[in-house]
Structure 1
Amino acid sequence: MIDLPLSALEVSIVEAGTTPADALANCQHSAQELSRLGYHRLWFAEHHHSLAIGAFPPALLAAHTAATTTGLRLGSGGVLAPNHAPITVAEQFATLATLHPDRIDLGIGRGPGTFHEPTARALRRGADPATDDEYRSDVAATLDHLLDVGIGELPEPWLLASSDAGAEVAASLGLPIAFAHHIRPDNTLAALKRYRDAFRPSRWSDAPRVLVCVETVCADTEERAAELARPMDIIKAAILQGHPDQPFPTPAAAAAHRFTAEEEQALGAFVAQQARGTRDTVEAALTRIVEATGADELMTVTPVHSTPDRHRSFALVRDLVRRG
C-alpha cells in the first residue's frame, strides 16, 4: 500500500455531446466525491480556447468549491503566471486563503494554457511569450505581493514544472514543486534531481518538497481501463500531429479510431510511464513512480469521458493509498 497524501487534478473535460456548463457541473460533482473519499487536495488547471477542456479560471473554481466542500485543500494547478498581473494573482489567492484558512494553494505555472496563438497573444495583451527571466520575475513578484497585500491568511504556494528550467525556478525561490509527470514523464527524474540539488530554503519551504502528478485510469478490468483512456489518447495523438484543437471524443468514437504505427509507438511509451489498468496494475505503477521520484505527495489526473467512471477510478485508487 502506498503511504503518501493523495490528491487530484481537475482539467474540466467538455465531453462530446455536452456543453461547458455540463463540464462545470461535473467538476463540482467530482469535487464532492473527492471530498467524500478523503483526498487531500483538488487543483484546477487553467486552459483557454479548447474544444476538449473548459476555460474556467482556477481561482473561481477554487472559491466555489471551497464554499461547497469540507476537508479538501483547493487551488490552482496552476494559474499561469505570464497571463496575469502578479499583484492580481496575489490579491485573489490571499483573499481566498483568508476566507478559507488553511485550505488554499497557489500553484503557479508557465505555459499559455492554449495552442491557439491569437488567444495566447490576447492573454498577453499582444506581447510575445514570456522569456525564462520574465517568468521567474513574475513568480517572484507574485510571492512578494502575497506578503504585501496584507489581507490576512496566505495560500500555500507551489511551482508547477515539466522541465529542468521550471525545476530551477522552484529551487531558486525555495518553493515546493509539483511536477507534471503526466505531461513530460521523460523529464521527471533529471528535473527533480536538479531541484533537490539546487534548492534554497525560504520562508515558503525549509526543504525540498515534491508532488508528482500521474495520469491514472483505474477500472475493474484492463480492457475497461484502456477503453476509458482511449479518448484522451486520441487528443494526445492529435497534438503529436500538430492538430491540438480536437473535441473530446465519446468512447464509441474512440473505439472506431485507428492510430498510425508512429502514434501507437509514442502512446505506448507514454502509457508505460503512467498508471492505467486494474487496481493491481495501477498500484504497481504508482509504487514504481513514487519510489523512483521520492515523491512526498501523489496527485492523479483522470481524463476519461464518463463522470461515473472517473468517480469509480477515484475510489479504486483511494483504496490503494493509506489513509492519513
Structure 2
Amino acid sequence: MTSLTSLPVGALEVAMVQTGARAADTVRDTADFARAVEELGCSRLWYAEHHHSPAIGAFPPVVLTAHAAASTSRIRIGSGGVLAPNHAPLTVAEQFGTLAALHPDRIDLGIGRGPGTFHEPTARALRRGADPTTDDEYRADVAQTLRLLVDEVALGTFPQPWLLASSTAGAALAADLGLPLAFAHHIRPDHTEAGLAHYRDRFTPSRWCERPRVLLCVETVCAETDEEADRLAGPMDVIKAGLLQGRSESPFPTPEEAAAHSFTAGERRALAGFKAQQAQGDPATVGKRLAELAEATDADELLLATPVYALADRLTSFALVAERIRSTGVA
C-alpha cells in the first residue's frame, strides 16, 4: 500500500460561513487557518472561488492568497481555482504574476471553468451578460493566460499553473497544454479513473510540466471517533441533499440542526455512495482510505477539502490526519 509519508498533503479552504456568524468573521479566520496548516506540514493551501452562496463566503481567491502568503512563510498558497469565465486573462496573469514576484516559489495559479455559483443572475453579472463560455473559449482563455504570464507580465518569476478538472474534457485540456492536473474527486468521483487515464495518455510536456502530474482533491473529515466524524459531516450532508433535489445552496447549518434533519431514503443512498469514495471517520479509517485512493489513482499529491462547521473542528481534522501520517505513514 502507498505510504502517505511519501506524498505531499495540502488543504483546500472553502471558507464555510457559520449560521449566525458574519462573513467578516469567516474571512478573518482564514489567516489563522493558513498559519495552522503550515505548522502541521501541509504542502499547499488553495482557495476556491464562490459567489452568491449563503453557505460559502464570496472571497476572491487572489485576495485570500495575498493575505495568507503575507501571514505565512513556507507553505505554497494559491487558487483552487480562479474561474476563467469570470475574469480577463490579462487580469489573472497580472494578479498572480505580481503575487509570485512578491512571494517567489510559493504561489500557485489553479484555473477552473465553472461559474462558481448556482445563481444565474450572478453568473451573468460575472460574465457582464455574456452567454456561458464554450469549450473553445475556455481553452483560449487558459492558453492566453499562460502566454501573458510570460510575454506581458514578465516579472522574472511565475506562479505554478494548474488546471482544475472534474471530467475527461478538462483532463484532456490539461494534457494538451502540458499542465499539472488537479482533479476534483471531491466533486465528481465517478469521473476520476477515466479522467486521469485520459490525462496520462494524452499528456504533452511543456515549459510548465515535463511529465503528467496529478493532485487529487478528496473530501476528508477526521475526528477521534467515526461517530464524531459523522456529526461534523452532517451540515455538508444537508447542503448536498438539497443539491440532489435541485435546490440551490442553503445556509450552512449547525451540526445540531443537521442531526435533526430528515433525509429521504434516496438521499441517504446517494450520500452513502459519495462518502464511500471519500475519506471520513477516525484517524485509522481516514488514513487507510487516503492511502487506498493515493494508490488507486497513482496521485503525486493529495489536497484535502474539509467542509465542517467550525474552524476548531476543521483544524482538528487536519491535525489528526497529520499525526496519523507522521506516526504510521500507512493505514
TM-score w.r.t. structure 2 length? 0.96
Q: 1:28 aligned to 2:52?
A: no
- SS of the counterpart of 2:324? coil
**Number of the residue aligned with 1:125:** 128
* Other structure's SS at 1:320 match: helix
Match of 2:81 in 1: 78
State percent identity of aligned pairs: 64
Alignment of 1:156-305 (within 5 A): 156-305=160-309
CA deviations 1:66-109 (Å, max 9, x no partner) are: 01111110000000001000010000000000000000000000
Cα distance in 2 between the residues matched to 1:292 and 1:276: 17
Conserved? CA contact 2:30–2:68, under 8 Å: no
Query: Aligned equivalents of 2:324 and 2:76: distance in 1?
Result: 20
Match of 1:320 in 2: 324
One-letter amino acid of the counterpart of residue 145, structure 2: T
What are the ranges of 5 or more consecutive residues in structure 1 without an aligned counterpart?
Answer: none
In terms of mean alpha carbon deviation, does 146-155 or 79-88 score higher? 146-155
Give 2:56's aligned residue.
53
User: Post-superposition shift, 1:322?
Assistant: 5.1
1:141 maps to a residue whose letter is Q
Classify the secondary structure of the residue corresponding to 2:243: helix
2:93 maps to what in 1? 90
Question: What is the CA–CA distance in structure 1 between the aligned matches of 2:260 and 2:29, rounded to whole Å?
Answer: 26
Letter of the 1:273 partner, please give it. Q
SS at match of 2:82: strand
Paired residues of 1:4 and 1:322 also in contact (CA < 8 A): no
Q: Is the Cα contact below 8 Å between 1:174 and 1:200 reproduced in 2?
A: yes
Q: Distance in 2 between matches of 1:284 and 1:35?
A: 23
Distance 1:94 1:198 in 2: 28
Mapping of residues 118-157 of structure 1, within 5 Å: 118-148=121-151, 149-157=153-161
1:67 and 1:26 mapped to 2: Cα distance? 14
Which deviates more from structure 2 when the two are superposed, residues 157-166 or residues 25-34? 25-34
C-alpha deviation, 1:245, in angstroms: 2.4
- Residue equivalent to 1:103: 106
**Contact 1:6–1:321 under 8 Å retained in 2:** no
Output one character per residue of 1:151-192: Cα deviation in whole Å (capped at 9) or x when no partner: 231000000000001001100000000000000000001100
Which region of structure 1 is more displaced relative to structure 2, 173-182 or 244-253?
244-253
Output the CA distance in 2 between the equivalents of 1:322 and 1:154.
32
Alignment root-mean-square deviation, CA: 1.1
Question: How many residue pairs get matched?
Answer: 324
State the AA in 2 paired with 1:104.
Answer: I
1:321 Cα deviation from its structure 2 partner: 2.9
Q: CA deviation at 1:58?
A: 0.4
Could you say which residue in structure 1 is the equivalent of 2:47? 44
**Do residues 6 (structure 1) and 37 (structure 2) align?**
no
Letter in 2 for 1:311: L
> How far apart are the structure 1 equivalents of 2:104 and 2:57?
28
Please state whether the residue corresponding to 2:77 is helix, strand or coil. strand
Query: SS at 2:206's partner residue?
Result: coil
Secondary structure at the counterpart of residue 319 of structure 1: helix
Deviation at 1:262?
Answer: 0.7
Offset at 1:306? Answer: 1.3
Compute the TM-score of the two structures, normalised by the length of structure 1: 0.98
Runs of 5+ unmatched residues, structure 2: none
Please report how far the alpha carbon of residue 36 of structure 1 lies from its aligned counterpart in structure 2 after TM superposition. Answer: 1.2
User: Matched residue of 2:190: which SS?
Assistant: helix
